[in-house]
Amino acid sequence: MKIRRSILGFVVIIAALIALVLWLGKKQPVQAPPTTAVETNTVPLAANASSAPVHSNAPPVAQAVPNAPVPTPPAESKEQQMREGLAELNDVDIAFYGQLEDQFGNAVGDAQIKFEVPFNNGHAVGVQRGTTEADGNGFFTISGYKGKSLSVVPVKSGYVLASTNGGGIYSSLWPESERARPDRNNPTVIKMWKLQGSEPLVDISKEYRLPFVSTPTYFDLVAGKVVPSGGDLEAVITRAAGSLSKKSPGDWSIELRPVNGGIIESDYQTAQFTFEAPADGYQDSYLVQMNHDDPAWHDGIDGEFFLKSRDGQVYGKFYLVFGINREPNDPLYFQFKGVVNANGSRNWEATAQH
- HEC-encoded secondary structure of 241-292: CCCCCCCCCCCEEEEEEECCCEEEECCHHHHHCCCECCCCCCECCEEEEECC
Which of 151, 176, 194 delimits the end of a domain? 194
Is residue 104 a contact partner of residue 191, using CB atoms and an 8 Å limit? no
CATH code of the domain containing 112: 2.60.40.1120
Q: Is residue 18 part of a domain?
A: no
At 329, give phi and psi (nearest 5°): -95, 0
Q: Is residue 33 part of a domain?
A: no
If asked whether residues 166 and 231 sit together in one domain, one would say: no
Q: Is 151 helix (H, G, I), strand (E, B) or coil?
A: strand
Which of 168, 194, 220 delimits the end of a domain? 194
If asked whether residues 215 and 331 sit together in one domain, one would say: yes
If asked whether residues 343 and 279 sit together in one domain, one would say: yes
At 349, give phi and psi (nearest 5°): -65, -20
The bridge status of strand 217-220 relative to strand 252-258 is unpaired
Range of the domain at 150: 90-194
The domain tally of the chain equals 2
For position 309, what pLDDT does the model report?
98
For position 64, what pLDDT does the model report?
47
Q: Is residue 76 part of a domain?
A: no
Q: Is residue 165 part of a domain?
A: yes
If asked whether residues 182 and 211 sit together in one domain, one would say: no
If asked whether residues 333 and 216 sit together in one domain, one would say: yes
Give the span between the Cα atoms of 354 and 347, in whole angstroms: 16
For position 9, what pLDDT does the model report?
52
If asked whether residues 132 and 94 sit together in one domain, one would say: yes
Directed axis angle between helix 78-90 and helix 5-26, to 10°? 150
Q: Is 169 helix (H, G, I), strand (E, B) or coil?
A: strand
Q: Is residue 179 part of a domain?
A: yes
If asked whether residues 302 and 253 sit together in one domain, one would say: yes
If asked whether residues 340 and 282 sit together in one domain, one would say: yes
If asked whether residues 333 and 254 sit together in one domain, one would say: yes
Residues with pLDDT less than 70, the chain: 1-76, 354
DSSP 32: P
Tell me how far apart the terminal alpha carbons of the chain are, to the nearest angstrom: 31
In tens, the pLDDT along 41-52 reads: 333 333 343 334
For position 40, what pLDDT does the model report?
32
Is residue 139 a contact partner of residue 187, using CB atoms and an 8 Å limit? yes
In tens, the pLDDT along 23-81 reads: 444 444 444 333 333 333 333 333 343 334 444 444 444 454 556 565 555 556 877 77
If asked whether residues 105 and 225 sit together in one domain, one would say: no
Is residue 337 a contact partner of residue 319, using CB atoms and an 8 Å limit? yes
40 to 43, 46, 142, 144: CA distances (angstroms): 9, 17, 35, 28
If asked whether residues 101 and 161 sit together in one domain, one would say: yes
List the one residue out of 181, 169, 18 whose CA is nearest residue 89. 169
If asked whether residues 317 and 217 sit together in one domain, one would say: yes
Q: Is residue 235 part of a domain?
A: yes
Which of 171, 194, 217 delimits the end of a domain? 194
Which pTM value belongs to this model?
Answer: 0.73
Q: Is residue 144 part of a domain?
A: yes
Give the span between the Cα atoms of 34 and 315, in whole angstroms: 76
Q: Is residue 56 part of a domain?
A: no
